[in-house]
Every structure is written in C-alpha cells, then in structure tokens.
Structure 1
C-alpha cells in the first residue's frame, strides 16, 4: 500500500501515551501518523494505577465513561508495619476533578480502548514494523528516515514529531537529550496473577525490612504482587514459582496458587530528560521522564504530557497560534513531573526500611503524627500529592492569578434538568465561564484569544433557577450544583475566567477588568513570553 509520506504530526511509539496523543490529535482533525517498531501493540499489563487527572483526560474524547466499566474505582492503600500490624491508610474520598483519585486498571484494556477509538479518526494512521533511524530538521519540518518491515528505508516528513517511544527512546537519543537523575540498584519482582478469590479492593503495602511487598488487586479478579529484592538475591532464583509463591503464601495464603499471568524483575529509575524539545521534535511519557513505581504515577505523568501538548499542536496547526506556544510544553510539564518523581522517592523510602530499627522509628513517627487530625487528613486524602499547577507558561499572570491551575470539575445542571460533569459541555475547546448576565456575554468577547474555538458558559449559582435569564443565544446556561465556582471566583476576586482546552486556567477576570472600556490587547501576546 502506498502511503503519503507527509503528515502534520509524526508520533514515534504506539504505547498508551502515543495512542492517546493520536486520539487527541485525531479529534482535532490533525493529520497524524504513528510509527511502531514492533509488529503489534504492547499487551503486557505494565501500569496498574490511573488517577483522577488521567480519567479527566480520557473524558476529553468521551472515553472516561466506557473505561470506568473496566476499572476498580476509588481504591485505597493500607500500610502494615514491620510486625505486620495495621499502620496507616490512604482512602481519599474527594473528587475535585470529577473522579476518584486512585483507580486500578489493566493497561491492555486501555490500549484496546484507544486503538478501537482511532477508527473514528480517518486522519490518523498507525504503521507497525517501522523503525526510526534518523532525524533531520529545518525551520519548517522534520524529515525522518524510517526502516519498514520489508527492510526498505523511506523518508517521512512532518510539521512536528513527538517521541513517545519509552525509556529506551531512539528519539531522545537522536536529539542528544541526556537522562538526568539516578537508576537505582534496588530491584523488584513483579508477579501478575488471575482468578483472585479475595474481595478486598484496596492495595496492601507491607513495610517489612525483611521483604517489603505490595499486593495490588485489579479489575476482573486480577492481582499483582511486588516484592523488593536484596543484593544477595539472584534473578533466576526469585523467578522460580516455588520461591515467589512461598512469599505470596506468607502474605495471603489464598493467593499462593492462583494462575500465573506474568513475572518480571525490574529496576526503578528517577530520571528526566535534559531537554524535552529540540526545534520541531518533542518527547513525552517515559521518553521524557522515568518515575519510580511507588506512587503509581509513571503512566499518569505521560498522560498529563500529551494532554498538555495535543491542544498546543492543534492550536499551531489549525488555529494559527504561533509556534512559540509549543515551547511552553516543557516549561509547564517538566517541573510537575519532577515533583512527582520526588514524591515517589519519598514514598519508596518509607516502603523500603533498611532495618528493623529504621522501620520502628519511621513507622511509629507516622503513627503518632496520625493522632493529629489535620495530619491524618493530609495523609488520608492524598493531599501530599503535588498540585497540578504551574507558575510559568501560557497564561495571563497577575496578582490575583499568579499561576495556572487545573480547575475543579463540578457537577452542573442544564435547562433540561440534566446533571452532568462540567467538561461534558466544554468539548476540546477553550471555554469562558462567568455569572449569567447580558453584560458578561457581551464583554467577555474582548478577552478571548483570537482564532480559537470557544465554548461559552453562562453560570448560575447553586441558589438560582433558570427563570428569565438574559444571556446571548450562543451561550450555554448551567447551574453550579454545589457552589464550586463561587468558591473559585471569591478566591481570585474574579467574576469570570477563560479556561484552556486542557482545563487549566488561562485568565481570571475581576469585575473591573470585565467592564473596562479599553482592554490591554498585549495580554494575549505576553502569554507567550
């Protein structure tokens, strides 16, 4: 089959990060090609935890609802001390972004969902057995040399290229980006099992210096065990079923004889690429950062990457925004990815006590701290997780909006009486949200970035109904069911906001700014500085 050797975006790697980026771009109508060096999609159950931010990203392309049917939503983590006694637990019950904070899933299920959804986007093509060989760039395009499954060398031209090709990224190597950080000598054994009998849905973490271990129940009666290995352990020895089944039996006898799905030994990394962009080539997912597994944030960080990047590529290619917008991707994403790596290392230190004495000291300190209500709430509600925000990037910075934040996603009600999550009304566009009035509908226009599609929301507070609201016809009238936006607006002294397609705040407007007869037209351009 002859293929057009030109595309708007070329993605290297058909893992979940690359496939999600392809779905996002497909929804924007961006001509996209995905190259995968292997003969098929990755089917191993690698990542097992997906968070609320990632489910919200799937919601952008209407995949959150079908995916919810395949996952265990809202699981917690139970920690046990060195004597196998209950120590602490994390069971967050808030849903700031519309979904539970921790959810168990199977990576092959997510991959299948993303692959099947690509059928809705004829502008996206996936090519297997295509190996990236070399990259050449100029000011306008990337030219890639690629080897096909027939051992032919072809050239593919693209306006932009994104390497989603994993921890051993060829893209990263070709742009000469270095991995900075550490690879740790500590190894772990993973054992995936099927036909789980125990109904406990929460993860159990055994902080035992003799053999730290984690038990992670998954959907469809799946189960994962992870065991820390010592320097004296031999890989081939610990991979013997008789060995690891005995370790499992010590934790939960009922699990010891379950059918084996997969076993593997891995080392963990805490590293980020020195650069995430070189001209028109970018990195995302494991190609850009390698995260320790202890916080379950590796794939989630990759999903954040492409949620940030996809709309920017579409904005440059379809909405005539300047290329400089793409430079804000690394500015915004790299610090947050690094913060999550740091958090994972801190959790890992707690999970892997080096001796009974260190276990006794750390665990009893935590037990005492949890007697203090605010500390217990801080731990229980997962408030130690770095907030999704950035102090620098593409937004309008000012005294009452010093950093862009991922806005909460409340339930809203429309005029038909339907109650749904806010993002269901926003699509993949920019959005403006403000208190319902004819003045808001008229004045907000001058603050909207030019050339971009915008969804306009006129908002009622939770105490108002839909009687005689005077708003423009193209505005959607919604009621904030629980007063979430009233709290946000008060916090920022604002009456309206502009929201980016990735649901981060672009601008917060006070009443005085909204009513100003003259607007500083430079605010849009300075956001690129």
Structure 2
C-alpha cells in the first residue's frame, strides 16, 4: 500500500520577518506597519505571554509608544512619577529616586503592567493590512543569501512553511535561536542567586512606589503596580528551590516578612527568575539583526531591560524602512550596532551595580553602603545626583547616522527635547505630534528652508522631512513669511528658546527616532544637509545637492 503524498511546504513572502512577538518585535512591527513596509511577525506560542514580567517604563519608551500612535492607549496601564526607594535594614530610606523632569514629554519613571502594554501593541497591528502575525509557528532554521533570508517554520499541525524575507530580525529572547544559529557570542555573567517574584491582586499594602529593602538576611523588593497589583521579589537562598518556595507554608513565611496577614491575599502568580548580564558579540550578521533580549539582557534593578529593547526598536525600525523603500543603502543598518551596543553595555553595568547596592556580595560592603548613604544626606549636590537619576547614562551617539560634531559638549547624538507647542490652528500639542514619523529640520525664528536649494528641499521631502519654524507663540498671529513647505509652531513654554540659546546654532536636524543628527545656521544648512545625507547612506537617486552660494 502506497503512502499518502507529503504536502508541499506553504510558501510565504514579506519584506521584514520578525521572530518573537514580545514587546520589541511588536513595537518594530508597529513602526514598520505605519511606514507601509510589509512585515510578518512569527511567534512560536499560540498567543501573547500573559504573565507580568517588566514593571518599569521610562519616558523614552513612552515617546516610542507615542511615535506609533499608541501612547494614549498604554497610559491607562501605567502609574506616572513612580519613585524608587532604597531602604536600609533598619527601614531608613537612603536613596529616594523620583526625578520630576519631563524633557522628553513624559514622566521619567512609570510603573506598568507589561502584558497589558503588549496587548496594546498587538492590537495596534490590526490597523495595518501590510502586517501579518503568525502564532503557533516555530522557527526551525533559516538561510540567508545576498538577496534575502529564507525561514523554515513549523506550524501547530507540524506542517512545514517557508517564509522568504528581505531581512530577519531576531527578537526571540535571551535564549535566541536566531543568535545561536549565527554562532554569535553572548558574553557576560549569571547572578549567583535567583529571585522569586510574587504578584498579588487587590494590593494588601497599597502604598505607592517601589521599595528595595537591603535586608542582609533576605533582600526583597516591594512594588506597587497599576490596577491594584503588588509585586514582591525575594532573594532565593542557597539550597532553596522553586518547588519548595511555592509551597503554601513556605510562601506564607516569605510574605510574613512584608504583610501583617500573609493568609489574606489573592495570589496571581509566583515565578523564580535568574538575573543575567549578557551582551551579544554583534547585533548584525548580513541580513539578520538582533534586538531586545536576543542582543542584551540585564538584571531588573533599574528596570532597563524592557526600555533598552524599546530603544533598539526605535533605532532600527526607521532605518529598515528607508532601506526597504530604496531611500538609503543597506550600509545604513551598520549604524544600528554602532549606536546601540555601547549604551546597552552601559545599562547592563548600571543594573549590575544597582543589584550590588541592594544585595552586596560581602557583608562589609553593606555596612559601608549604609554609612556612605547617611553621609550623602549632608552633601546636597551628590544627593541630587542620585535623586534625579543623573547617574543613568543617557544615550549619546558619537558615530553612525549623524554629523559627527567637532566640538566637545555638543548635543548632537542626544535625544531632542519634546515640549508642548502651539499650532497655527490654536491647538497645544507635544512637539512629536507635529513631526510624526518623519525627519525634521527645526529652526528657531528663521525659515528652515531658506538655506536650501530647490533640489535639496525635494531631496529631504522624499525622505519624509517636516520643515518646522519655531516662534514665540504670540508671533503666530502674524502672517507667515516662510515657504509653503514650512510648518509654524509657537514656543508656548519657552523650552525650545532655552534649548537653542545654549549653543550657537539655530537649526536642529532630527532623525525619526528624535535624536539630534546635526546642527546648523541658515548659512550652513545646505552643507549640513549634504553631510547628513552622506551619513545616512542615501541612495544615488536621492542625490546630494551641490551647495550654492547666495549673494545678496
């Protein structure tokens, strides 16, 4: 008897294949979706992960949600201005970190419920016919060539599927099959102690903020989360196992440290985690790129694992969009690792340091910490350094898709501010609402197209650039003397005036991820635009216009 014929694999094609429907993959898919790029998101599970993981969302990440039009959707699942307090074993708060700065338009620190934020990102994909999500597909392998990447998938019924893509992004976590298949190293350390995370509904404490309690016997964390959820994290001692700690009698002993009545709780879930600090040897190999935990993982103590992944998404997505549309060469993608890897390493180091503050490897280090923290109360500048989170290394790119500054202290390579502005229509909005998903040339007072030739204006319009003139808001009442391509906004808060007053340049060139790519004056703008076009690896048909001198 002959066997039934084997079904041939189902063939699919896309511009960008993303493996892993976690927050980073979902965010990249949303950005590319709104840019009109064809995306296929592949996830081996049958649905999104529903258990809480990350609990800290920073202002940069909220700005990334804003960039894909989903900030208002995620805000109901956040607690803004969420303080972080380090406590000594005797209950004294020695570091109260609650920065009140909002230079990027949002609260600097926010608690959030990750599964609900992930759901917002997933539902956001329903806006785009050019984005497909394939659940229940396991990646079995892939091969790349000069023209693309072919993925081999297996669906829930065991049937093989082939997916042809121009580029592949591995967002498949710390144990990334994509990274391992490329034999890319993942150097770093695994913390010697695990931690058990306990999430409880109907918060039995309901005190705000997050407390990191430096108990030498068993350090723990107590964090208030949105929607009445309380998270406790306890260090697992040598010899303890997840199975033992999860037994009701042992869970009761843990919670008795922090609750007056450990029996009256509504347990959501408990899980044991291992904290790793690891960095991929490279973020790109040919047409395959790594992002999020596949590229770097870090301890949770500064809440930067999730946020570092959002920075990856924001940095990579706009570059891929330009490359896919033929507006920039493939070489632009090399700037992703140039710009992101060093900062990811800095955030790993900061997270490891914060873990050592909470649970010092040596007992004497804890005694030293408590003594030094007491002295800091009498040195206000040092105390402000910690309270305002000035120790957090902000990304500043010194090479990559930007005009490398020649002077020290230049803001080029840093994220641009986002104050509220007044539009010509009389609406008060955050600056990014005017910029959209685009490049921007923002000029204080002057016409941002005055220094450009018609060819240059056409070139930057092809790249999707907004030309924005910033004025004192009262001047919006006067007729515009700028060109038809110029959008006027009023500096109602004075923050943009203050920003431009710090330097000698009146025009800022912004990338779609809101990072400052260059500075100019009206008389140097043509040259700056040419330099930036070269740094972006603009394709030959997006010609670099020759500089033309102007004679009055």
Query: Given the two structures, how large is their TM-score scaled by the length of structure 1?
Result: 0.94
Does the alignment pair 1:153 with 2:170?
no
Does the alignment pair 1:204 with 2:211?
yes
- The CA RMSD over aligned residues, in Å, is 2.2
Structure 1 residue runs without a partner (length 5+): none
- Any idea what SS the aligned residue of 1:404 has? coil
Query: Paired residue for 1:391, among 377, 398, 407?
Result: 398
In 2: Cα distance, 1:345 partner to 1:300 partner: 16
More deviation, 450-459/335-344: 450-459
Question: Counterparts in 2 of 1:74-153, with a 5 A limit?
Answer: 74-153=81-160
- Any idea what SS the aligned residue of 1:456 has? strand
Does the alignment pair 1:442 with 2:450?
yes
Tell me: CA distance 1:74–1:449, structure 2 relative to 1, closer, same or farther (3 Å). same
Q: CA deviation at 1:522?
A: 5.0
Identify the residue that residue 430 of structure 1 maps to in structure 2.
439
In 2: Cα distance, 1:520 partner to 1:355 partner: 54
Q: Deviations over 1:206-265 (max 9, x none)?
A: 011111000011111001100112223333222223223322222232566321111111
Tell me: CA distance 1:3–1:20, structure 2 relative to 1, closer, same or farther (3 Å). farther
Contact 2:242 2:271 in 1 (8 A): no
Identify the residue that residue 421 of structure 2 maps to in structure 1.
412
Query: Paired residue for 1:185, among 174, 187, 192?
Result: 192
More deviation, 350-359/276-285: 350-359
In 2: Cα distance, 1:462 partner to 1:207 partner: 50
In 2: Cα distance, 1:428 partner to 1:520 partner: 19
Q: CA deviation at 1:73?
A: 1.0
Structure 2 residue runs without a partner (length 5+): 1-8, 539-552
Q: CA deviation at 1:370?
A: 3.0
Query: Paired residue for 2:378, among 367, 371, 374?
Result: 371
- Any idea what SS the aligned residue of 2:62 has? helix
Tell me: CA distance 1:409–1:319, structure 2 relative to 1, closer, same or farther (3 Å). farther
- Any idea what SS the aligned residue of 1:383 has? coil
Identify the residue that residue 310 of structure 1 maps to in structure 2.
317
Does the alignment pair 1:469 with 2:480?
yes
In 2: Cα distance, 1:319 partner to 1:201 partner: 49
Q: CA deviation at 1:405?
A: 0.9
In 2: Cα distance, 1:272 partner to 1:39 partner: 29
Contact 1:13 1:163 in 2 (8 A): yes
Contact 1:411 1:481 in 2 (8 A): yes
Identify the residue that residue 543 of structure 2 maps to in structure 1.
none
Q: CA deviation at 1:85?
A: 2.5
Identify the residue that residue 520 of structure 2 maps to in structure 1.
509
Contact 1:17 1:306 in 2 (8 A): yes
Tell me: CA distance 1:38–1:527, structure 2 relative to 1, closer, same or farther (3 Å). closer
- Any idea what SS the aligned residue of 1:305 has? helix
Tell me: CA distance 1:255–1:407, structure 2 relative to 1, closer, same or farther (3 Å). farther
Q: Deviations over 1:167-219 (max 9, x none)?
A: 11111111111111111221111001101143322101101111100001111
Q: CA deviation at 1:489?
A: 2.3
Tell me: CA distance 1:462–1:366, structure 2 relative to 1, closer, same or farther (3 Å). farther
Tell me: CA distance 1:330–1:158, structure 2 relative to 1, closer, same or farther (3 Å). same
Identify the residue that residue 542 of structure 2 maps to in structure 1.
none
In 2: Cα distance, 1:79 partner to 1:51 partner: 19
Q: Deviations over 1:417-439 (max 9, x none)?
A: 3211111111101111002434x
Q: CA deviation at 1:53?
A: 0.4
Divergent runs of 4+, >6 A = none
Contact 2:444 2:500 in 1 (8 A): no
Q: CA deviation at 1:354?
A: 4.2
In 2: Cα distance, 1:66 partner to 1:127 partner: 23
Tell me: CA distance 1:36–1:57, structure 2 relative to 1, closer, same or farther (3 Å). same
Total equivalences in the alignment? 526
- Any idea what SS the aligned residue of 1:99 has? coil
In 1: Cα distance, 2:292 partner to 2:229 partner: 25
Identify the residue that residue 43 of structure 1 maps to in structure 2.
50
Q: Deviations over 1:133-177 (max 9, x none)?
A: 122111111111111222122221101110111111111111111
In 1: Cα distance, 2:286 partner to 2:433 partner: 35
- Any idea what SS the aligned residue of 2:451 has? helix
In 2: Cα distance, 1:319 partner to 1:370 partner: 56
Q: CA deviation at 1:367?
A: 2.1
In 2: Cα distance, 1:4 partner to 1:434 partner: 49
Contact 2:79 2:225 in 1 (8 A): yes
Question: Counterparts in 2 of 1:248-259, with a 5 A limit?
Answer: 248-253=255-260, 257-259=264-266
In 2: Cα distance, 1:444 partner to 1:360 partner: 62
Does the alignment pair 1:227 with 2:229?
no
In 1: Cα distance, 2:429 partner to 2:535 partner: 35
In 2: Cα distance, 1:373 partner to 1:479 partner: 36
In 1: Cα distance, 2:487 partner to 2:256 partner: 57
Identify the residue that residue 271 of structure 1 maps to in structure 2.
278
More deviation, 240-249/207-216: 240-249
Query: Paired residue for 1:243, among 237, 243, 250?
Result: 250
In 1: Cα distance, 2:10 partner to 2:16 partner: 15
Contact 1:410 1:482 in 2 (8 A): yes
Tell me: CA distance 1:358–1:463, structure 2 relative to 1, closer, same or farther (3 Å). farther
- Any idea what SS the aligned residue of 1:205 has? strand
Contact 2:204 2:230 in 1 (8 A): no
